[in-house]
């Protein structure tokens, strides 16, 4: 038998096994969400890495849109608490929980805290991430491993918990990056961790099919945050000129697209990677 035939059989066998695997883990069990169906009910949103940057802007935006948000951070407690204060001052609801997404127990505790405070989760923004750069010849094992632990394993931990808990009608959004199409030197390892987000999202969209939960990735271009600024001014050089819309992205540009995906107007977008980058590709 040919290799192609064998791999097709393997694929079909895997596809057939998925529904029973879901039944065993209880993933397919039907829960009723108040995300879109019961106006007035609390809609919970867990946003990893929301002490600053894109995550903080998303937390503020989703809180404004009526979600009760769970803020997460790794080390910057003061910044995370400031986001909560901003949201509360604007009349919204938020709690904060420290936790390393690379640690499955910490991720579970983060979702537990959300559920305890808000009764359940309707939106998960899988945003926490780090960017270590370096040419193949220079990248250290430590920098590579830390990025894999945070971006690849961490995202898996968050999406696994999301897949078990997000209520029917909910949304799951992961941060990929336009860098996966641009391939600048020095970004191979980081881009690999971001390409994974597209794969995770399209597979999970299928696993959660039938429950009206959309699962998407979003791919920002360069956004003016600490993630880029830590690499020096040169990391931002030339980007506005190379961008058809002639400016650097702001965290709010990305928060706006995430808000669209969380709204009824974005409900038909599922299993996609949405490029939001001012036209730079």
Ligand X SMILES: NC(=O)c1ccc[n+]([C@@H]2O[C@H](COP(=O)([O-])OP(=O)(O)OC[C@H]3O[C@@H](n4cnc5c(N)ncnc54)[C@H](OP(=O)(O)O)[C@@H]3O)[C@@H](O)[C@H]2O)c1
Residues that bind ligand X (CB under 6 A): 48-55, 72-76, 79, 100-102, 127-131, 150, 154, 175, 177, 220, 222-223, 225-228
CB of 232 to ligand X, least distance (A): 14
Between 192 and 203, CB nearer to ligand X:
192
Which of 18/236 has CB closer to ligand X? 236
**CB 238, min distance to ligand X, A:** 14
| Cα 215 off chain centre by | 10
Cβ atoms < 10 Å from Cβ of 176 = 28
Shortest spacing between CB 45 and ligand X, in angstroms: 15
Of 35, 44, 61, 96, the closest CA to residue 251 belongs to 61
Residue closer to ligand X (CB basis): 28 or 148:
148
Question: Which positions are annotated as active-site residues?
Answer: 190
Nearest distance from C-beta of residue 161 to ligand X, angstroms: 13
Least distance (Å) between residue 195 CB and ligand X: 12
Q: Which is nearer to ligand X, 220 or 278 (CB)?
A: 220
- Residue 62 or 227 having the CB closest to ligand X: 227
Instruction: Quote the CA–CA distance of 9 and 4 in Å, as a whole number.
Output: 9
């Amino acid at each position: 038998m040919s290799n192609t035939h064998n791999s097709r059989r393997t694929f079909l066998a895997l596809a057939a096994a998925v529904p029973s695997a879901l039944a065993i883990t209880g993933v397919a069990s039907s829960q009723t969400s108040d995300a879109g169906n019961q106006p007035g009910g609390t809609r919970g949103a867990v946003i990893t890495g929301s002490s600053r940057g894109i995550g903080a802007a998303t937390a503020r935006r989703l809180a404004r849109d009526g979600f009760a948000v769970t803020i997460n951070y790794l080390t910057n407690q003061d910044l995370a608490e400031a986001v909560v204060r901003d949201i509360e001052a604007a009349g919204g609801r938020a709690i904060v929980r420290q936790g390393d997404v690379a640690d499955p127990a910490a991720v579970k505790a983060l979702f537990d805290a959300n559920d305890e405070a808000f009764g359940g989760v309707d939106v998960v923004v899988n945003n926490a991430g780090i960017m270590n750069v370096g040419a193949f010849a220079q990248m250290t094992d430590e920098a590579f491993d830390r990025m894999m632990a945070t971006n690849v394993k961490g995202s898996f931990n968050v999406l696994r918990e999301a897949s078990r808990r997000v209520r029917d009608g909910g949304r799951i959004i992961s941060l990929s990056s336009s860098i996966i199409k641009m391939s600048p030197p020095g970004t191979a390892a980081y881009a690999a961790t971001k390409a994974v987000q597209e794969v995770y999202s399209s597979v999970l969209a299928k696993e959660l099919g039938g429950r009206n939960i959309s699962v998407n990735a979003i791919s920002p271009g360069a956004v003016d945050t600490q993630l880029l600024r830590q690499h020096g001014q040169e990391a931002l050089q030339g980007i506005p000129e190379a961008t058809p819309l002639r400016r650097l992205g702001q965290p709010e540009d990305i928060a706006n697209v995430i808000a669209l995906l969380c709204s009824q107007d974005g409900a038909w977008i599922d299993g996609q990677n949405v490029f939001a980058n001012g036209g730079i590709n």
